[in-house]
Amino acid sequence: MIYLDYAATTPCDKRVVDAMLPYFTSNFGNPSSIHKYGEDALLALSDARQKVADLINAEFDEIAFTSGATESNNIVITRAVKEKQAISFKTEHKCIIDMFQRNNWLLLDVQSDGIVDLQKLEYAISDNVAIVSVCLVNNETGVLQNVAKIAEICHKHGVLLHTDATQGFGKIDIDVKALDIDFLSASAHKIYGPKGVGIVFYKKKHRKLLMQKFSNPDIEYGIRSGTVPVPLCVGLGKAAEIVKQEMHDDFERISRLRKLAVSMTEDMDEVYVNGSETSFYPGILNISVRGCEGEALMMEIGDVCVSSGSACTSNKLTISHVLDAMGIAPDIAQSSLRFSFGKYTTESEVVTAMTNLKIAADKLRKMSPIWEMIKKNMNIDEIFKNCPRHDH
């Protein structure tokens, strides 16, 4: 199998597993206990917290461990918004979209390349807005937002800024002080760490906003209750330490892999790279092969693990809410695949995957009446006019 779905999750680095194992067995103490086992667990937890803080240039006591970015997102936004309004964008991760739709908070349009329209954002901010939330790197397209500029606009109007940095955390340089963000969410399993653990970063002056009522301030600064999963936190700390050392080399290698993948599609008709041409994380490549349905392509490209922005459910074709929000034509959006590269991806795997993509596209297009209509320059908008939108 060729695994090109690193944006979904990553395998645990063996060094991370080795670091965690003692805390499941011999060093099994509860960090709240005052005996030797508890003291050892607390030291390990503190070491992990410092390693995470070092990765994003935060202070030690500005990091709280959570179960992952989704929980961190919910903690920050629901507790900071109070009785006011929140603003986010229609291309955000599904957990943000769902939260905002449940609470009837404001979701703004983005530009056709997926970049936030700064003028629209500033116009939308009012005295009733408490917080703005934006993904640093989009999980489907890899689009990289100008978070520093967004923070500047927010703070000019006295509004807080939260960023879900899950797809950029440990992959690109993040300096929370330079970006001047108020809150940040991330997960361990995107950086070769364990599943089930993540972090929320907060500026110290905002900690009280996140603290639970009647919480124990000695457990994760009162932000999250319960026994802290020391082995998982140790794993996240070790993963953060490793990516800090290896990030720049990995970024350069992954950039080369993306260029290779894109170059192999240049002789194909009607193939589109979705997202910004100038502001993106190269580890995520979203490609549309017009005339082919995304999930059909997935089934035809052999033992290559990728993601599709479309899905066939209840006999209805649905498309990605991200590509739809970018204004991409439905017939192009429903033909998308997301390739995401990681530190174990090889050039030969990319070559094989893209070769298989070409073969699959040729096969599917020969059977596709839609492709025939496209080649004859027929208007196919009506076919996709009522195509349902989908979060996949």
pLDDT of residue 313: 40
52's tokens: 């995470």
Q: Which residue has the higher pLDDT, 382 or 125?
A: 125
pLDDT of residue 314: 38
User: Average pLDDT of 352-373?
Assistant: 88
SS (H, E, C) the chain: CEECECCCCCCCCHHHHHHHHHHCCCCCCCCCCCCHHHHHHHHHHHHHHHHHHHHHCCCHHHEEEECCHHHHHHHHHHHHHCCCEEEEECCCCHHHHHHHHHHCCEEECCCCCCCCCHHHHHHHCCCCEEEEEEECECCCCCEECCHHHHHHHHHHCCCEEEEECCCCCCCCCCCHHHHCCCEEEEEHHHCCCCCCCEEEEECHHHHHHHCCCCCCCCCHHHCCCCCCCHHHHHHHHHHHHHHHHHHHHHHHHHHHHHHHHHHCCCCCCCEEECCCCCCECCCEEEEEECCCCHHHHHHHCCCEECEECCEEECCEEEEEHHHHHCCCCHHHHCCEEEEECCCCCCHHHHHHHHHHHHHHHHHHHHHCHHHHHHHCCCCCHHHHCCCCEECC
For the chain, which domains are there?
12-244 (3.40.640.10), 247-390 (3.90.1150.10)
User: Average pLDDT of 250-257?
Assistant: 98
User: Average pLDDT of 105-123?
Assistant: 97
Does residue 139 register a pLDDT over 80?
Answer: yes
User: Average pLDDT of 233-258?
Assistant: 98
For residues 327-348, one letter each, b for 16 or more C-beta atoms within 10 angstroms of the residue's C-beta and e for the rest, the string is: ebbbbbbbbbbbbbbbbebeee
pTM comes to: 0.92
pLDDT of residue 317: 58
User: Average pLDDT of 287-312?
Assistant: 85
Percent of the chain past pLDDT 90, that is, above it, reads 82
Q: Is 167 exposed, middle or buried (0-12, 13-18, 19+ CB in 10 A)?
A: buried
pLDDT of residue 370: 75
Does residue 18 register a pLDDT over 90?
Answer: yes
Active site residues: 312
pLDDT of residue 386: 56
In the structure, what pLDDT confidence band is assigned to residue 292 with cuts at 50, 70 and 90?
A: confident
